[in-house]
Amino acid sequence: MLGDVRLRGQTGVPAERRGSYPFIDFRLLNNTTHSGEIGTRRKVKRLLSFQRYFHASRLLRGIIPQAPLHLLDEDYLGQARHMLSKVGMWDFDIFLFDRLTNGNSLVTLLCHLFNTHGLIHHFKLDMVTLHRFLVMVQEDYHGQNPYHNAVHAADVTQAMHCYLKEPKLASFLTPLDIMLGLLAAAAHDVDHPGVNQPFLIKTNHHLANLYQNMSVLENHHWRSTIGMLRESRLLAHLPKEMTQDIEQQLGSLILATDINRQNEFLTRLKAHLHNKDLRLEDAQDRHFMLQIALKCADICNPCRIWEMSKQWSERVCEEFYRQGDLEQKFELEISPLCNQQKDSIPSIQIGFMTYIVEPLFREWARFTGNSALSEIMLSHLAHNKAQWKSLLSKQHRRKGADHDGPGTESEEQTVAEGDAP
Convert the pLDDT of each residue in 91-123 to its tens digit.
999 999 999 999 999 999 999 999 999 999 999
Annotated binding site: 148-152, 188-189, 298, 349
Confidence of residue 402 (pLDDT cuts 50, 70, 90): low
pTM of the model: 0.83
- Mark 160-194 as b/e (b = at least 16 C-beta within 10 Å): bbbbbebeebeeebeebbbbbbbbbbbbbbbbbbb
Annotated binding site for Zn(2+): 152, 188-189, 298
Convert the pLDDT of each residue in 280-291 to its tens digit.
999 999 999 999
Q: Catalytic residue positions?
A: 148
Contact 46, 191 (CB under 8 A): yes
Q: What is the mean pLDDT of residues 65-87?
A: 71
Convert the pLDDT of each residue in 312-354 to its tens digit.
999 999 999 999 999 999 999 999 999 999 999 999 999 999 9
Q: What is the mean pLDDT of residues 219-238?
A: 98
Q: What percent of the chain is modeled with pLDDT above 90? A: 75
Residue 286 pLDDT: 98
Annotated binding site for AMP: 148-152, 189, 298, 349
Question: Which DSSP helix (H) or strand (E) runs through 183?
Answer: helix 175-187
Question: How far apart (Å, rounded) are the C-alpha atoms in residues 391 and 413?
Answer: 18
